[in-house]
Amino acid sequence: DLSTTRRLFKRHFGMTFLEMARLSRLRQGFTELSRGGRVIDAQVEAGFESASAFREYFTQVTGLRPSDLNGFGEFRWHTIRAF
pTM above 0.75, yes or no: no
* pLDDT tens-digit map of 25-62: 998 888 888 888 899 999 999 999 999 999 999 999 88
Distance CA 43, CA 47 (A): 6
From 57, 62, 67, select the one nearest 80 (Cα to Cα): 62
Q: How confident is the model at residue 83 (pLDDT cuts 50, 70, 90)?
A: very low
- CB-count exposure of residue 19 (10 Å: 0-12, 13-18, 19+): middle
Determine the average pLDDT of the residues in 60-68. Answer: 86
| Phi, psi dihedral angles at 71 (to 5 degrees) | 80, 5
Inter-axis angle of helices 2-13 and 17-34, nearest 10: 40
